[in-house]
Amino acid sequence: MTLSQILTPQIQKAVQALFDVTLEKVEFQVTRREFEGDITMVIFPLLKVIKSNPAELGSKIGQYLVDNTSEVQAFNVVSGFLNIVIADAYYLDFFGKIKNNEQYGFVTPKEGEKAIMVEYSSPNTNKPLHLGHVRNNLLGFAVAEILKASGKKVYKTQIINDRGIHICKSMIAWQKFGQDQTPETTGLKGDKLVGNFYVTFDKEYKNQINDLMAQGKTEEEAKKQAPIIIEAQEMLRKWEAGDAEVVALWKKMNQWVYDGFAVTYKNLGVNFDKEYYESNTYLLGKEVVQFGLEKGIFEKDPDGSVWIDLTADGLDRKIVLRSDGTAVYMTQDIGTAIQRVKDFPDVGGMVYTVGNEQDYHFKVLFLILKKLGFDWAESLYHLSYGMVELPTGKMKSREGTVVDADELMEEMTATAKAISEELGKLDGYTDAEKAELYKVIGLGALKYFMLKVDPKKGMMFNPEETVDFAGNTGPFIQYTYARIQSILRKADFDLSGTTITVLHEKEKELLKQVELYPEIIQNAAANHSPALIANYTYDLVKEYNSFYQTVSILGEEDLDKKVFRVQLSKKVGETIKSAFGLLGISVPERM
């Protein structure tokens, strides 16, 4: 039970006893640092129902709490704010309850509660994963872990876009220019090899357009008449018709990509419970169109195309089936959502981790599913995130100007190595231990930098800024964790018990920060925001470092105080590790 939950009924009792008024809601906020107090009640809303001045009102409630509530030790009133000082005994009792709880902050899912499916990654099979995919994967994975910690059952999924003209472009280029290259013969990861041919296609396509324009064609005509694009379109038609040779090549090249993706996912530390493939789902949803027509939700135009009119809902008219009977992306997404609930009947909601350029698409999708009458459609959420840009500008896959995810992770590890060697604190490490540490620091820096920013905001990514051992960075937090582990290794005395009754101001501040953790998890889950966890962890670490610099820990002469401070350090370390675990970030035992 949080402090606000403990104090709310006590304050309601006070207001009832003192003023004969029933108070429905009590508004709290964090006490400002310049005032004494651990939690602050906002008095102003009470003035609407009680005729008094704020100072007198606050003083009466404060005195009542001191006289009648064991947790409250003192109070002060500043303007319309009642700053409440909580007794040390409350924090010591709280610490006693949580210090040995390894699952502190986590809630066990209730039996029979509906699960949530979180979709993320969902790449195309014509190129390797890049910087934008990294943000997507890290956000989706972290949100899934946070939802789990908050008490939800979670399934992680992705839908791989493995069909369409984009993969045919890579296939045509491989046939024309590939000379039977494979990942084995080139030493390249399969996704990189296929991505290279996508870039090759684009170069050849541009050359052919320029040649045709030189012959007098307009740019529009040249784009349509370039032989290589006609070949790619013909290959797509053959694939859709089930041509054995085309399908065999498609399967071979896609498998190269899947194998490449698997390596990247492993290195990035993300995983999935179920994978869907667009080649299997692109026909899903067509039967739902018929159902929608019968219910009067969809309407058929004279040319045979099927639409839904959402103008009354502030949106527009949206096509769900073309006149030739082929599905559009919207139809496919409708069908895939329905299929997922068939596959996982306990799913009661879904989170789609997709960039903000798709905001409108998901508004339409969610509204259609609601109109079709699916109860779970009320619990759909688009985890919309801003784009990642580089100091050099936007990335373009066709031109090969993307930041490759694998190369980015390697660069982060190399940067961590350079900085760590410069600091020179790795005496006694084996080469293998050093390599692992560089990877943990580099990936920690990357993930933290990506996740500390609110998902809705775009971001500028500069690798050099992320690997810093000071400030709001992953390595700074990891270093504090390692410092705590060093203290624990040196604590060669019995840590089982302590009888302290009075807290140092810094101990109390640190306990207040630890106490917030369960509430932060719930808020982060409700807001689908890993940034809340990231920035909470930074605040906790700042508070710990202030404590570390102010009080003596292992040098403390009073054994009870020394034991308590080591116990408190241990719990802070566990909380850092737990919070970083939700973000998919590892912490090193030594740094």
Question: Residue 398: pLDDT above 70?
Answer: no
The average confidence (pLDDT) of the chain is 93
List, by residue range, all CATH 3.30.1360.70 domains of the chain: 3-86
Structure confidence by residue, pLDDT tens digits, 502-522: 999 999 999 999 999 999 999
Distance separating alpha carbons of residues 94 and 378, to the nearest angstrom: 38
In this predicted model, what pLDDT tens digit does every residue of 320-346 receive, in sequence order? 999 998 888 999 999 999 999 999 999
Helix and strand totals (H; E) in the chain: 22, 14
Residues of the chain with CATH 1.10.730.10: 405-582
Rounded CA-CA distance 511/515 in Å is: 6
Percent of the chain surpassing pLDDT 70: 98
Q: Is the predicted pLDDT of residue 140 greater than 80, yes or no?
A: yes
DSSP letter (8 states) at residue 46: G
Mean pLDDT of 282-292: 89
Phi, psi of 309 (to 5 degrees): -95, 110
Per-residue pLDDT reduced to its tens digit, 548-559 = 999 999 999 999
Q: How confident is the model at residue 453 (pLDDT cuts 50, 70, 90)?
A: very high
Beta bridge partners of 436: none
Q: Is the dihedral of CA 161, 164, 170, 174 positive or negative?
A: positive
Q: Which residue from 260, 256, 265, 255 is spatially nearest to 137, judged by alpha carbons?
A: 265
Residues 6+ apart with CB under 8 A from 170: 126, 194, 195, 197, 198, 201, 253
pLDDT at 395: 43
**Residue 417: what residue type?**
K
The reported pLDDT for the residue numbered 462 is 76
pLDDT of residue 433: 92
Per mean pLDDT, which range of 85-94, 144-153, 191-200, 461-470 is the poorest?
A: 461-470
What is the reported pLDDT for 393? Answer: 52
* Residue 422 confidence (pLDDT) above 90: no
Q: In this predicted model, what pLDDT tens digit does every residue of 354-390 receive, in sequence order?
A: 999 999 999 999 999 999 999 999 999 999 999 887 7
Q: Are 298 and 166 in contact (CB under 8 A)?
A: no
Please work out, in degrees rounded to the nearest 5, the angle formed at the alpha carbon of residue 142 by the alpha carbons of 140 and 146: 120
pLDDT at 469 over 70: yes
Lowest mean pLDDT among 152-161, 205-214, 375-384, 406-415: 406-415
d(CA 441, CA 430): 16
Write down the CATH number for the domain with range 3-86.
3.30.1360.70
pLDDT score, position 401: 57
Q: For residue 411, which of 451, 387, 386, 445 has the smallest C-alpha distance?
A: 445
Q: Are 293 and 303 in contact (CB under 8 A)?
A: no
- Residue 313 is classified by DSSP as G
Give the span between the Cα atoms of 369 and 378, in whole angstroms: 9
pLDDT of residue 73: 96
Write down the pLDDT at residue 174. Answer: 98
pLDDT band at 424 (very low <50, low <70, confident <90, very high): confident
Using a cut of 0.75, tell me whether the model's pTM lies above it.
yes
Answer for the pair 166, 126: CB distance below 8 angstroms, yes or no: yes
Strand residue runs (E) in 210-346 = 274-277, 299-300, 306-309, 317-321
**405-582 carries CATH number 1.10.730.10:** yes
At residue 397 the predicted structure's pLDDT band, cuts being 50, 70 and 90, is very low
Q: What span, in angstroms and rounded, lies between the C-alpha atoms of 3 and 71?
A: 9
Query: Backbone dihedral region of 55: left (phi > 0), alpha (psi from -120 to 50 degrees) or beta?
Result: alpha
Q: What is the pLDDT of residues 232-241, one digit of tens each?
A: 999 999 998 9
